[in-house]
Structure 1
Amino acid sequence: MKVFISYPPLEDARGIPLLSQNRQFQWFNNPTYIYPMVPAYAATMLKEDGFEVIWDDAIAESKSYKDWFLNLIKEEPDLIAIETKTPVIKRHWQIIDELKNSSPGTKLVLLGDHVTAMPEESLEASQADFLLTGGDYDFLLLNLCRYLNGSAESLEPGIWYRHKGQILNTGGFALNHDLQRLPFIDRDLTRWQLYSEKNGNYKRLPGTYTMAGRDCWWGKCTFCSWVSLYPKYRLRPYENLLDEIGLLIDQYGIKEIMDDTGTFPAGQWLRDFCQGMIDRGYNKKIAFDCNMRPGILKAEDYQLMGKAGFRLILFGLESANQETLDRINKGVRADDIIKDCQMAKRAGLQPHITVMVGYPWEDKSQVKNTLCLAANLFKQGLVDTLQATIVIPYPGTPLFDECKKNQWLITEEWDRYDMREPVMKSPLSPEELKKATQQLYKAFISPRFIARKVLAIRGLDDLKFLYRAAKSVLGHLKDFIPH
């Protein structure tokens, strides 16, 4: 049985789609590719189970749609699995129908947060054969392929399908899979080099991704699309992650690792992991990056992380206004981000913050508060990089439900949910919100900040990273040009 795990080309004047392994979809002018960790686990498990697996990321390979489509028809796969998200779901429906019309015997499978939130929609709007809901679609895809080739007697919960003209399902998905059963990702099969350089997180090249857990131990933010995928938090043993890091260093010469767990583990797990990095000497061979929540770690935790080789630490600021943080159930105080950035910087880490504008209840003065806080963090040298976006209420999130209840939605045309424009009503105009987003990125290129970065250059890696960061910021400024 030949299985393709595919990212079809999505040619668009807006740029490169950040689709794979991404909690929030954007088009980027500056090409960026994130390692699709869960699909990569799926490919690895399928191969180990005896299936013929083709890793087919036409976006990262910059293939044209025509070349990709003709090659796929020529290869005659038995099954094609496609990860999708809200802003490109209609494009994927069209692609599925074109594939089905040319190759009726090929099974087409959609997976991801949008089909988890609205499964019937995709089966009604396209010729897709199966939908895999929930975040463990690597385990579900293996189960589905086993079922189709006769080696599994039944389908696991979380799978939607057609039968005699009806749309049926196997019940709600269950996150009961043991992450200790996961093999290390087959990096050669999944073509790790495609994701090793064009990624703004990496300072040292080549870089790659790991995933210690699924997905965020807080898991309550109302805007996050992955809350619907992973309502339950599970972890791999820290020793298992350390073993994988050793393999990445020894076999692939990896210099930097971004762990894409929604929030990296804290507490004793974190302390044991850090000590393991030190004891094994990995802290001298790689830089390690992660997502973390402010208000959780103490100064000694950051100091240990610094000794263990951590470099980039990503904090979700989202807004400087406590009302907003409370309404989106962030579970932090506005001043937590300042304190944590201070502690992280003292430990030698480089904080990155994510910021959003366009909340329906935030007026101009509140947006200005967020702009001022971000600018001040840059001026004080407490933040090294940032990501700014317009907040989007993805289907399946509590924020989307709140929008429906309060009639805040401007549109339900999914292709407009790409963070380039507001889709919720706001006291600010769309042009004002785009301008605010640009202002956040411009804080990154203030003379004082640039001077600090130039003076901090200690080698070629620093110089190359600064060049890539400048290109990225200029690209983001183009992403939000007001008309």
Structure 2
Amino acid sequence: MAENKKLKIVVGYPPTISAKGVPLLSQNRQFQYFNNPTFLFPVAMGTAATWLKNLGYKTYWKDCIAEGLNTEQFFEFLDEEKPDMFIFDTKTPTIKKHWEIAKVLKEKYPHLKLVLCGDHPTALPLESMQNSPIDFLICGGYHDFASVDLADALENKKEIPKGIWYRKDGKIVENGRYELKKKLDDAPIIDRKFTHNERYQKEFNLAGRPLAYIMSGRDCWWGKCTFCVWDHTLYPLGTFRARSPENVMEEVKYLVDEIGVKEIFDDCGTITVGAWLKKFCNLMIESGYNKKVMYSCNMRFGAINAEECKLMKEAGFRLLKFGLESGNQETIDRLDKGTKIEAVEPSCRAAKEAGLMVHLTIMVGYPWETKADAMRTYELAKRVMLKGYADVLQSTTVIPYPGTPLNRDAVKNRWFRDEFDPYDYDAYDMAAPVFKSPDMTLEEIQQMCNKIYSIFMDPRYIAMRLLKIKSWQDLLYTLKGAKAVLGHVEDFSRPVPQAE
């Protein structure tokens, strides 16, 4: 039994209310406001809360977005519990809103220590320290490990760990980047009852309910894609870490046996392949949990072969999410994606022949792509979908978040729209394209997103989906997917904000 500590700590997300919709802030590499909201479980934050609780700190899990709390209700909670510290996560489109929230919190609760983390604060730590009264800023990923280190330093009056910026005598102490010294296996299995896993069930890609998000690694072993903000801020190249297959298996057993989870999504940027994947699959098969739970994950084209697809299917895997991004090899190369267009169909076909479902992610609005280039992406996605090599897709506009090479190149090459201010962080919310196009208007770029979604409306696709409905669960999954597609179409049908 852990010794009770003095600190009372809140971990989560403050109220983030907007007329634009519900923000998808947690566990999301790309931000968007949704008409049909999705709530994804924030793995690192959930681990931090569980760990602090297990160590004896009076800890509260307070995700105001998923819980639906407004500012007044959050203040009532703070008035009643009187915590000492609030650790919260943010992203570029919400950073200014959260600076203002921090100012209100500090004025109302001057003794509440505010700890900010996330990809944007990591990319520009001094900016957040200067523009808000936060007390501490975790610079880098592994927020859970850093939060535990910070709590220990404050509880026991130790030196503030490297990688956590802070204030001393009214001055900002620039304290470098947080470096992980431990193994991921050292972190506890997330307590899903304490962190209310039941609030994170609105996710149309996953068929099983209850579902749970986990991460077998952080974040992607490829780690080079120029648009990926996690790869270049939280977990840059050379800092990828994977949990052991045995440790992940331990979490699978907990989720199934104690929480009743029916499907797990492994949100590691790309699941570790090779010997790691073979070991994990064999553990699932030998334990019999391949019959108890479905498992889905992120994947790269060309990363696994047909035999490995078959092994994954036997191990209980259901869906592989592939980042297509574009149907143009020049774009793939510019993004440093490391994949080949000619590998798209064979990879999808191998997965489908093994009995796995395939999900494609696509982006439009690249500053060098013409309308003809975007149409090639559409035609490739349509061909793969109508051949039955892919089951679902999603399409978004490309957003170059601060801290990414894509953002750096956009500033250097003047790719942003003439009226777009790169420091207008609210405008990185995908409500409108941020790049100029060689031959498309902003509205046409948005319409291209909807054109890609229109593949779902093709009678041939609808016929294939109807033929695959074998149970009530299949029907419900299809209906939820249809509702989500209509929500995405509505998201990209909003009037494009015009410059003043």
Which TM-score bucket, shorter chain as reference?
over 0.9
1:162 lines up with 2:162 in the alignment: no
Matched, 1:375 2:385: no
Q: Give CA deviations for 1:388-421 in whole Å, capped at 9, x if unaligned.
A: 1100000110111111111223322101101221
1:411 to 421, 426, 429: 421
Shift of residue 62, structure 1, vs aligned partner: 1.3
- What displacement does 1:434 show? 0.4
Post-superposition offset of 1:63:
1.7
Partners of 1:74 and 1:429 in 2: how far apart? 52
Name the residue aligned to 1:420.
431
Deviations along 1:73-121, whole A, 9 cap, x unmatched? 3322100111000000011011111111100000011100000000011
Instruction: Report if the CA contact (8 A) 2:295-2:317 is conserved.
Output: yes
Deviations 1:249-272 (A, max 9, x none): 111111000011111010011011
What is the deviation of 1:201? 2.5
CA contact (8 A) 2:34 2:487 kept: yes
Secondary structure at 1:60's aligned position in 2?
helix
Equivalent runs, 1:108-119 vs 2, <5 Å: 108-119=114-125
Matched, 1:8 2:8: no
User: Residue 435 of structure 1 contacts residue 482 of structure 1 at CA under 8 Å; is this kept in 2?
Assistant: no
| 1:455 paired residue among 467, 471, 474 | 467
Corresponding residue for residue 391 of structure 2: 384
Give % identity: 47
* Distance (Å, rounded) in 1 between the aligned partners of 2:340 and 2:446: 26
Question: How many residues end up aligned between the 2 structures?
Answer: 481
Match status 1:398 vs 2:401: no
- 1:475 is aligned to 487
Alignment of 1:4-403 (within 5 A): 4-150=10-156, 153-195=158-200, 197-227=201-231, 228-231=233-236, 232-403=239-410
Task: Name the structure 1 match of 2:498.
Answer: none
Letter in 2 for 1:343: A
Residue 226 of structure 1 aligns with an amino acid whose one-letter code is W
**Offset at 1:70?**
3.0
Instruction: State how far apart, in whole Å, the 2-side matches of 1:389 and 1:335 are.
Output: 22
Cα separation, partners in 2 of 1:234 and 1:14, compared to 1, 3 Å: same
**Aligned 8 A contact 1:283 1:308 in 2:** yes
Partner-residue secondary structure (3-state), 2:226: coil
Amino acid at match of 1:380: K
The separation in 1 between residues aligned to 2:342 and 2:180, in whole angstroms, is 35
Distance 1:67 1:106 in 2: 17
Gaps of 5+ in 2: 1-6, 496-500
Cα offset, 1:207, TM superposition = 0.6
Amino acid of the residue matched to residue 432 of structure 1?
E
Structure 1 residue ranges without an equivalent (≥5): none
Name the structure 1 match of 2:3: none
Task: Output the amino acid matched with 1:19.
Answer: L
The range that moved more, 438-447 or 390-399, is 438-447
Aligned-pair distance for 1:475?
A: 0.2
Q: Distance in 2 between matches of 1:158 and 1:359?
A: 34
RMSD (Å) for aligned C-alpha atoms: 1.2
Find the partner of 2:445 among 420, 433, 440.
Answer: 433
- Matches of 2:473 and 2:40 in 1, distance apart? 20
Offset, 1:482: 5.2
User: What are the superposed Cα offsets for residues 415-444 of structure 1, whole Å, 9 maximum, x if unpaired?
Assistant: 110122111222221101100001111112
- Contact 2:153–2:160 (Cα < 8 Å) also in 1: yes
Query: Helix, strand or coil for the counterpart of 1:295?
Result: coil
Question: In structure 2, how many angstroms separate the alpha carbons of the residues matched to 1:118 and 1:171?
Answer: 12
Q: 1:339 Cα deviation (Å)?
A: 1.2
Q: Secondary structure at the match of 1:54?
A: strand
